[in-house]
Structure 1
Amino acid sequence: MTLTPTGRLLRTATGSDLVVSRRFRASAEDVWASVTESDRTARWFGPWEGEAAPGRVIKVQMAYEEQAPWCEMRIDACEPPRRLALSTTDEFGAWRLELSLAETDGSTELRLVHHLTGEDGVGEVGPGWEYYLDMLVAAREDSPLPDFADYYPSMKDYFEALAMA
């Protein structure tokens, strides 16, 4: 299967943002539930536990990664049903993520922004976010989940080229 990557790399005053988005025929509230309720995130990313609130840390299981590891994520901002900002640090570095939802005429655009600390590794990160957002689409549609092998390494060159531009 050949998939077309949709991600963009935007240069900002503070660095670079990797932006990947998807559109859903649903209300912002419904899409918000898909990205914030543990039983729903479990279907496409992994479950989470803890007391979710700005400034709090939750534990998230990355259920579709090798060995399904748990990681801690700090909720930096939570403005239902429009914006969620998270940060985490792991062996690969610090990750700052932001999800924003915009509803227009019965459809909602979900925009995932990964605030990068550098553009090295975007060839690995970009395909991963394409995969996870397509996992979200599949989970919402009750369709078969995609295979990561369809995203990586086939999308790596696309994302690396964005960093070279």
Structure 2
Amino acid sequence: MTRTPTGRLLDTGSGLDLVLNRTFRASADDVWASITESERTARWYGPWEGDAGPGRTVKVQLAFEEGTPWSEARIDACEPPRRLALSMADESGVWRLELLLSEVDGVTELRFTQHLDTEDGIGEVGPGWEYYLDKLVAARDGSATPDFGDYYPEMKPYYDGLSPARS
């Protein structure tokens, strides 16, 4: 199946933001549960365990990565049901993520942002987030689970070619 990449690269003046959006016919509270409750994150990203809260660290299993590794995620901000900010570090580097929800008339937009220091590796990172966000869509609406092969390497040239736009 051919997928269309949706990510944008924004120049924030102090770095770069990789931004991807998804829209759901659901309340912000319901979408919030999909991105914060362990049994629901397990369906599209992986489960987590620990005592969650701002400034605390939880363990997250990357359930759809090779070897299903566990990683620590620091909760930088948690403002239900509007904003979740996390930071993680692994052998690939530091991951600073922010998920913002906005609801209008029962339709919720998820704005997923990875705050970047450099464009290095964006050709791999962008398709990965497209895949995971489409897994979230599939987990919520019961549609077929996407295949990573539909995202990478197919979307790599798109992401490698992104130029930062002023936000």
TM-score (norm 2): 0.97
* Kept after mapping to 1: 8 A contact 2:10/2:164: no
1:96 partnered with 2:96: yes
Summarize the Cα distance change of 1:69–1:163 in structure 2 as closer, same or farther, 3 Å threshold.
farther
- Measured after TM superposition, the shift of residue 19 of structure 1 is 0.1
Percent identical residues: 70
2:62: which partner in 1? 62
- Please give the per-residue CA displacement for 1:60-90, whole angstroms capped at 9, x wherever unaligned: 0000000100000000000000000000111
Query: Residues 18 and 115 of structure 2 are in contact (CA less than 8 Å); yes or no, is this contact kept in structure 1?
Result: yes
What secondary structure sits across from 1:162 in the alignment?
Answer: coil
The offset of 1:27, in angstroms, is 0.2
Unaligned 5+ segments in structure 2 are none
Q: Secondary structure at the match of 2:135?
A: helix
Aligned residue in 2 for 1:71: 71
1:163: Cα distance to partner? 4.0
Query: What SS does the aligned partner of 1:131 have?
Result: helix
Alignment partners' CA distance in 2, 1:142 and 1:156: 27
- Counterpart of 2:80, as a letter, is P
TM-aligned CA distance change 1:116 to 1:25, over 3 Å: same
- The count of residues paired between Structure 1 and Structure 2 equals 165
Match of 2:22 in 1: 22
Whether the 8 Å CA contact 1:119–1:163 is kept in 2: the answer is no
The match for 2:161 is: 161
Give the 5 Å matches for 1:2-151. 2-151=2-151
The residue type paired with residue 108 of structure 2 is: T
Distance 1:88 1:63 in 2: 16
Counterpart code for 1:106: G
Unmatched tracts of structure 1, length 5 or more: none
**Which residue identity is paired with 1:111?**
R
Letter paired with 2:31? V
Alignment partners' CA distance in 2, 1:52 and 1:118: 29
After the TM superposition, list the runs of 4 or more consecutive aligned residues in structure 1 that deviate by more than 6 angstroms.
none
Aligned-partner Cα distance in 2 for 1:26–1:13:
34
Describe the SS at the equivalent of 2:162.
helix
Contact 2:103–2:109 under 8 Å retained in 1: yes
CA distance in 2 between counterparts of 1:14 and 1:73 reads 23
Question: What do the CA deviations read for 1:79-132 (whole angstroms, capped 9, x no partner)?
Answer: 000000000111011110000000011100001000012101000000000000
Alignment-mate amino acid for residue 73 of structure 1: A
Contact 2:16 2:164 in 1 (8 A): no
Query: RMSD across aligned C-alpha pairs, in angstroms?
Result: 1.0
